[in-house]
Structure 1
Amino acid sequence: MRIYKECLHCGKELKGRTDKKFCDPQCKSGYQYQKEKQNPERFYNKVDNQLKLNRKILKEFNKGGKVTVRAEVLNESGFNSNFFTHYWKNSKGDVYLFAYEYGFLKRTENTVEKYILIQWQDYMEK
């Protein structure tokens, strides 16, 4: 005697093994995707995603090694200065925050907020 059930994703009638839940790998993948999509994003994933986005944005805008960019331009791209991986303090006392190998320092010049963007250098390890 064979038991017929329905696919958990598409609802088609299943034939074959009695413990079968999906009609094909695509339905299994689609079901798992929908199920995960309903779960709230985990804190770790939010932080990791923002760090990756910050790095991507800093890399995109820092083509010259050291660049100054208006804060509003970075912020409109999705940049969030509250997320960084480490920091470096230069000899002047300025603290650069880094998203992996790309760093930034917030400055205000004539009431305009700007970021000075740099890239990690070997001499910064000391």
Structure 2
Amino acid sequence: MTDSKKCPVCGALVKGRSDKKFCSKKCKSIDQYEHRQKTETFYLKVDRQLKINRRILKKYNKSGYTIIRQGELIGEGFDPKYFTHYWKNKKGDVYFFVYEFGFLRKSENGKDKYVLVTWQDYMGRKYEP
């Protein structure tokens, strides 16, 4: 009783071991290359958004502590889902950081705002990009 499998790349019949997936080394290489392309595209997207977020936070946070409307940052292309790390203060507020620039979402008088900060020594181990 033979169990015929088809190659996921070219559709040819796969011969050999029962756990073999591809008909040839060429098809296996093509599959690995295509998978790597998808993975690298994801990482490039994340890296691009982190760079945009850092540039925007740096632009608006010249003093080390700034409060700004959420809409202004979002309008520039800022996406708060992308950050590198976070820090939680003693009050329980969680500041999200994009490298050395941080932000905290606040709501004042029904308006969404961000508190922008710069990494400080008291926050723990010094951050070095």
Q: Distance in 1 between matches of 2:75 and 2:44?
A: 21
- Sequence identity of aligned pairs in percent? 56
Q: Distance in 2 between matches of 1:101 and 1:54?
A: 11
* 1:64 matched residue in structure 2: 63
* 1:78 matched residue in structure 2: 77
Q: Deviations over 1:55-89 (max 9, x none)?
A: 00000000111000000000000000000000000
The answer for unaligned runs of 5 or more in structure 2 is 1-36
Structure-1-length-normalised TM-score: 0.67
The runs of 4+ residues in structure 1 deviating greater than 2 Å are: none
Q: Tell me how far 1:110 sits from its aligned partner.
A: 1.1
RMSD (CA atoms): 1.6
Q: Tell me how far 1:111 sits from its aligned partner.
A: 1.2
Structure-2-length-normalised TM-score: 0.65
* 1:42 matched residue in structure 2: 41
What amino acid is aligned across from residue 103 of structure 1 in structure 2? G
Aligned residues: 88
Q: Distance in 2 between matches of 1:91 and 1:67?
A: 20
